[in-house]
Structure 1
Amino acid sequence: MAPAKLRIKPHESKLSALARLADAAIIVITLWCLIELFGLEWVSAYYVMAITAIVVFNFISEISLTYRSWRGAGLKAEIIAVASNWFAVVMLFILIDFFFKPTDLYNRELLLTWFLLTPVELVCWHGIMRAFLSTVRETGHNTRAVAIYGATELGREVRSKIEDMPWAGYNFIGYFDDRNFELGRREESQVEGGHADLVERAKAGEIEVIFIALPLRAEKRIKSLLDELADTTVSVHMMLDVFSFDLLSARWVDLNGMPAISIFESPHIGMNSMSKRAVDLVFGSMILTLISIPMLLIALGVKLSSPGPVFFKQKRYGVNGQEINVLKFRSMRVMDAGDGEVKQATKNDSRITPFGAFIRRTSLDELPQFLNVIGGSMSIVGPRPHAVSHNEFYRGQIHGYMLRHKVKPGITGLAQIKGFRGETDTLDKMEGRIRYDLEYIRTWSVWLDVKIIFLTVFKGFVHKNAY
């Protein structure tokens, strides 16, 4: 008989079915209560809304693994997951309203209240369940005896994580390791025994969970241990020693049943890509509607201030390093497409017109890039696009520089709201910008994009370094 194909599946809590039913009930009951509160009649449109919301919310939740066991994860991560799933539902309804405008089918005030109240209730429900399980586990119930195989740096990190979350119900037994350590590198009391002792105690039922924290080169030792543990009922988790690498959006991938870990990957794939694009289309369309008249006035100002075209196309690197044309209002008398010698705008640059200086200082010259956003070559939030020549220069000067191109370039970004705008006349300034660009990619979420957009409105447009 051929061996079964290897697959790694996410672990799910036994409470996941209850969580699904409870979330669906909260969505429907909240809508029903609001309809009663507003004195409205329950019409077919509200049935469609409720069913659509439940289906989409559950679909996104399945993809984001929201209903897995959260025993080893923090409350913040679960809250962000739940809120992000509901945000996807809201984005869908906003898109439907924007394109089809079904204004006669439902009450807009009701819909807005439902949008705002439901995530609060969902988050509170998940928080209550987490608090209940934490209380049960902290009182000694539903706990699991945990051992770590490998008194290594990785093993110490695993123990630290376990001790930082008593609500998870993990009771740390000790380390097990066969290797001889030099005096001073560990405390003797930390190691309970070796390979054989670990297997013996696992068979006796004294240990329920084992985290293997050995380096990748210890393949033979790991395989030997797993062969013996196969004769027990213990749960075994392999802690891969990949965190010494400079990870970027690391995640599990499945290659036709074969598991692998992405070291460098874009966060905008699958549903994340759809969420990112939805944010760009919704906010981009709204902003373009609001700035259409100011853009006409700026175009007139550019035309009257100096001869030449209104728009200026710059060659820049987009996602995956592909060249794109980025639109800006022309602010200089002499136009440089940005694909020759490295020449950034400097303070009191003679090429900049008086009107151009104003729109550069206030970032108004960037407004045409919302057309790039709608066209799909840029995003509202992301690393600022650099000239092709800048990329070729700095990629050899700054470690990981090209990783910023794993996502679409943006009109604004984390680096910009942190103060890294305008001229980067020193290597330190560019390194600071790249550091925040990579932090944005590592920590990306829809909520981070929304946060950056709003912070840009208040402090991202005008800056002393923008000229």
Structure 2
Amino acid sequence: MDLIVINLLAYYFPLQFRYPILFHSYITLAWIVTAFKVQFYLIHRYTKVTRVLVLIFRQFFFFFLLQYAFIGFFKQPNMSRLAIAEYLSISLVLVSTIKFMNYYLLMKYRGRTKGNIRNVVVLGKNKKTDQLISVFNERTEYGYNFVKQFSLKGREYSIESCYDFILDNKIDEIYCSVSELKDDELTQFINFADNNLKTLKFIPDNKNIFAKKLKFEYYDYIPVLSLRDIPLLNPINAFFKRSFDIFFSLLVILGLLSWLTPLLAILITVESKGPVFFRQTRNGIDNREFYCYKFRSMAPNNNADSHSATKNDMRVTKIGKIIRRTSIDELPQFYNVFFGTMSVVGPRPHMVKHTNEYSLSVDKYMVRHFVKPGITGLAQIRGYRGEIENDIDIQNRIKFDIFYIENWSMFLDFKIIVQTIVNAFRGEDKAY
């Protein structure tokens, strides 16, 4: 909406620029880069109005500078400085209005209709936890539904009973008072949250917390520590990744699948009767199930949803061996990417049966479901694709998946895509 506003106003104001396409491309890029740098769209449910005002000021301050820099950089002496000032002023008013309306309506939506709610529990009983609970109960516009408080000082509740309550009541976020937990209990809660896809945050005190990445946030005036900072939870990062996914998937669908699909359809059906596409239920973001599509590479069988392909698998057809070796069978997943259930790069989605098994046996397995699954991923280019032959394979795959989630960047995505293409041409030992 902001990009539409600044471009429409530039079109209607008499700015007298000579190259319309250049100017509109420039202001669009300037706005996006500035927003990325000042984190203009990083607004949480607990963000204060003053923070929003600061973000607006920063965004337009740098946008103003870049706007006037256009005159000198591209040698536009005929552009009206007064018209630019008017244009920027109106842009400021309209964008600010949109931003505050969005902010206000979301607050009202959470407070009055109880939409966009997060169910939370608090572990610990002290002054800080009571203050946080007051924030949850009084600031209904934040959208937190306080469900229960567990006092651990007198051990009124066991750790296991906390786990059971959290799972049975579909709790989204857990807030722990660090002072009431032993070091080994902190580790247990970290592992529990990771393995059950729960957000874990700490109410800090003087105790040492040994975690890789900690992030301070403020709910009203209460400091809270986040255990894991996931870059793709940043709206700007998510916007760039989704935009790339749409562009890249359309490129593959129109440029490759449009002519390759009819050709493969003939070859697949001639060799064995059955559908051209193979559809399988897999687990995606937030552990939600979705249909993952492939070109059919096996003869139709009843074990497709429970047994992955193994070396020299008798179910694989002749044409299936070729398309599996070159990863061509995965190309229909670009439809999944286009419709938003997958990304080009991310942790590979597993069959529901395997997800249920590994979630119980592999530590931190569920962390991989904090982001969308991918057609390719960091684990795949590092040799951990295809059949899982032993425990080391799945453990190393999860380590690479978690590293990707915590260290995501567009550069890392590009690097993984290039390496995947190279591996497809070169062939891989476990591509069977």
Per the shorter chain, which TM-score range? 0.5 to 0.7
Aligned residue number for residue 361 of structure 1: 325
The whole-number CA distance in structure 2 between the counterparts of 1:241 and 1:381 is 38
C-alpha distance 446-464 of structure 1, shift in aligned 2 (>3 A)? same
AA matched with 1:44: P
Larger helix fraction of residues: 2
The whole-number CA distance in structure 2 between the counterparts of 1:254 and 1:217 is 19
Identity of aligned residues (%): 38
Aligned residue number for residue 369 of structure 2: 405
AA matched with 2:219: L
The whole-number CA distance in structure 1 between the counterparts of 2:372 and 2:420 is 18
Residue 296 (structure 2) pairs with residue 327 (structure 1): no
Aligned ranges 1:295-310 → 2 under 5 Å: 295-310=261-276
Residue 26 (structure 2) pairs with residue 50 (structure 1): yes
Aligned residue number for residue 240 of structure 2: 275
Aligned ranges 1:7-22 → 2 under 5 Å: none
Aligned 8 A contact 1:338 1:387 in 2: no
The whole-number CA distance in structure 2 between the counterparts of 1:412 and 1:217 is 42
C-alpha distance 387-242 of structure 1, shift in aligned 2 (>3 A)? farther
AA matched with 1:328: K
The whole-number CA distance in structure 2 between the counterparts of 1:278 and 1:52 is 14
Aligned ranges 1:204-223 → 2 under 5 Å: 217=179
CA RMSD in angstroms, aligned pairs only: 2.9
Q: Deviations over 1:191-233 (max 9, x none)?
A: xxxxxxxxxxxxxxxxxxxxxxxx9649xxxxxxxxxxxxxxx
Cα offset for 1:412?
A: 0.3
C-alpha distance 243-420 of structure 1, shift in aligned 2 (>3 A)? farther
C-alpha distance 405-245 of structure 1, shift in aligned 2 (>3 A)? same
Runs of 4+ in 1 over 6 A off after TM superposition: 238-242
Cα offset for 1:55?
A: 2.3
Tell me the TM-score normalized by structure 1.
Answer: 0.51
The whole-number CA distance in structure 2 between the counterparts of 1:452 and 1:239 is 40
**Matched position secondary structure for 1:380:** strand
**Runs of 5+ consecutive residues of structure 1 not aligned to the other structure:** 1-40, 67-214, 219-237
Cα offset for 1:256?
A: 4.6
C-alpha distance 347-240 of structure 1, shift in aligned 2 (>3 A)? farther
Aligned ranges 1:192-341 → 2 under 5 Å: 217=179, 244-245=210-211, 251-256=215-220, 258-264=222-228, 266-269=230-233, 270-292=235-257, 293-336=259-302, 339=305, 341=306
The whole-number CA distance in structure 2 between the counterparts of 1:336 and 1:265 is 42
Cα offset for 1:371?
A: 0.2
Aligned residue number for residue 433 of structure 1: 397
Aligned 8 A contact 2:388 2:394 in 1: yes
C-alpha distance 287-251 of structure 1, shift in aligned 2 (>3 A)? farther
C-alpha distance 407-45 of structure 1, shift in aligned 2 (>3 A)? same
| Larger mean Cα displacement after TM superposition, 366-375 or 453-462 | 453-462
Tell me the TM-score normalized by structure 2.
Answer: 0.54
Aligned ranges 1:23-38 → 2 under 5 Å: none
Residue 427 (structure 2) pairs with residue 465 (structure 1): no
Aligned 8 A contact 1:265 1:406 in 2: no
The whole-number CA distance in structure 1 between the counterparts of 2:206 and 2:367 is 23
The whole-number CA distance in structure 1 between the counterparts of 2:207 and 2:348 is 33
Aligned residue number for residue 338 of structure 2: 374
The whole-number CA distance in structure 1 between the counterparts of 2:240 and 2:303 is 32
The whole-number CA distance in structure 2 between the counterparts of 1:410 and 1:257 is 39
Instruction: Tell me the number of residue pairs that the alignment of Structure 1 and Structure 2 aligns.
Output: 257
AA matched with 1:350: M
Cα offset for 1:52?
A: 2.6
Cα offset for 1:240?
A: 8.1
Aligned 8 A contact 1:295 1:367 in 2: no
Cα offset for 1:263?
A: 1.8
Q: Deviations over 1:368-406 (max 9, x none)?
A: 000000000000000111111111111122110011111
Aligned 8 A contact 1:380 1:411 in 2: yes
**Runs of 5+ consecutive residues of structure 2 not aligned to the other structure:** 1-16, 43-176, 181-203
Q: Deviations over 1:71-98 (max 9, x none)?
A: xxxxxxxxxxxxxxxxxxxxxxxxxxxx
Larger radius of gyration: 1
Cα offset for 1:51?
A: 2.5
The whole-number CA distance in structure 1 between the counterparts of 2:290 and 2:218 is 32
Aligned 8 A contact 2:178 2:205 in 1: no
Cα offset for 1:448?
A: 0.8
**Matched position secondary structure for 1:432:** helix
Cα offset for 1:425?
A: 1.5
AA matched with 1:61: K
